[in-house]
Amino acid sequence: MRSDAVKKGVGCAPQRSLLHALGMTDEEMQKPLIGIVSSYNEIVPGHMNIDKIVEAVKTGVAMAGGNPIVFPAIAVCDGIAMGHQGMKYSLVTRDLIADSTECMALAHAFDALVMVPNCDKNVPGLLMAAARLNIPCIFVSGGPMLAGRVKGCKTSLSSMFEAVGSYNSGKITAEELNEYENKVCPSCGSCSGMYTANSMNCLTEVLGMALRGNGTIPAVYSERIQLAKRAGMKIMELLEKDIKPRDIMTEEAFSNALTMDMALGCSTNSMLHLPAIAHECGIDLNLDIANEISSHTPNLCHLAPAGRTYMEDLNEAGGIYAVMNEINKLGLLKTDLITCTGKTVAENIEGVVNKNPEVIRPVDDPYSTTGGIAVLRGNLAPDSCVVKRSAVAPEMLSHSGPARVFDCEEDAMNAIMGGEIREGDVVVIRYEGPKGGPGMREMLNPTSAIMGMGLGSTVALITDGRFSGATRGASIGHVSPEAAVGGPIALVRDGDIIEIDIPANTINVKLSDEELAARKAEWQPREPRITTGYLARYAKQVSSGAQGAVLS
């Protein structure tokens, strides 16, 4: 066992003395050391129940003969961080989480790990750590929030952000806004739509790193406690069989994840996280294949914000395995891959029934014949940009309009709230990329304001930043190269005509190559916004959004 390095022999007597200081018995030291990475905290609603999940995992580990030891991982609530300097610290925590977990796991010679994440960067950060460490690992999340209810209808956090725009434009009253505030987030858990946290927890199932139900069983259900106990027991089987993350997260497994990403209509942030996780596995996940996969993968689910169904509905309909079984009727998944269940994908999904064709559309009646995410390229984004196609109004799939250019999110918000954006405009928010932000902020505030003010069917927004999974509309992010390194988005001026054609996967500004070259010759880099601390170090090391914003 790996933990023998701190437990066995005369030379480890000092280490054993410290383990005794923990209250550990000789009998416990004979068992494998199983690290439980807990992202519990008291500020993130998706994490406030994780202490109970962790206790259940510990029970499962102990039942199966392991010695469970808990250590922490940080987590940021993107909703609370939204719209201010805090959002610069969201994406960057993904690497802090991976690095700190690596440090703890190797410094203390754990034999295996159970990862207990839930929210946006916490899940991919721990997946990156699992791949990097390559010791037996399994995931069990805190689970999704129940949907809220306002005026008898289910709702979620995205409705809350849009309600602010509706109030500012006089469409709802202060009393109605207050009702949203008090009802859209009725329980603990990751916010109830197919936002980034739930997208990544669902894709963790698809990758084979979590048991069935990880992505969909609501946080408040007792079934999730049972799931956590089973995960604790299962890690002992993975340890015995020496099944490791890179045995599971193969190139074919990432192909499955992209396929299911398209079928589910996941957050555009998955286009940052999947390449970053693959990178830790030694796999180059080129996003060029995303459109190829999308072209023959139907979109079967329209969960919020794309539609009016929620994670609890997907769970009742059969969960991720039901969607996988449905999509595999077209033979689109690699099903002979080993997973954390100890079984193959084919064995996992065999016989799983789609219990609600309104939530999970049959493959012969999809929402669309192509996938939920599109990668666009053109002279405005030579290296790519990303849009959640399934959440775009049909009339905005192709759009041409004048640019309204802003060099930060705050300036754009002031213009939107001030009524300065007109129908047909293309709002451009730049210098918000991985380096330029730094930290690649999410733009849920401006996109929600546009939707809430009734401009969602006429106004597009593009940015070298990124979007929350709660964003809907013609919102195009991850524009690469970003403005901070002189990408074409830095050269756009007010009034330039931008042409967006999502079905054709193109995005262009109507300028000649000669004009763009002339503007590039005049362009000067901007002084960094932040010159000290973690963000300054991050800005120096981070790659582009097209490469998953990984650190060099």
What positions carry a catalytic annotation?
A: 468
- Using an 8 Å Cβ cutoff, are 333 and 341 in contact? no
Strand (E) or helix (H) holding 204? helix 196-207
Provide Rg for the chain, Cα atoms.
23
Q: Which of 233, 231, 204 lies closest to 216, judged by CA?
A: 204
- Using an 8 Å Cβ cutoff, are 142 and 111 in contact? no
Helix count and strand count (H, E) for the chain? 22, 14
- Using an 8 Å Cβ cutoff, are 125 and 94 in contact? yes
Could you please report the per-residue DSSP string of 83-144? TSGGGGGTTTHHHHHHHHHHHHHHHTT-SEEEEE--STTHHHHHHHHHHHH-S-EEE----B
Token output for 294:
């999308």
Token output for 401:
């309009």
Token output for 152:
């008898």
- Using an 8 Å Cβ cutoff, are 489 and 464 in contact? yes
Strand (E) or helix (H) holding 57? helix 50-63
- Using an 8 Å Cβ cutoff, are 314 and 357 in contact? no
SS3 content of the chain, % helix, strand, coil (to 5): 45, 15, 40
**DSSP letter (8 states) at residue 66:** -
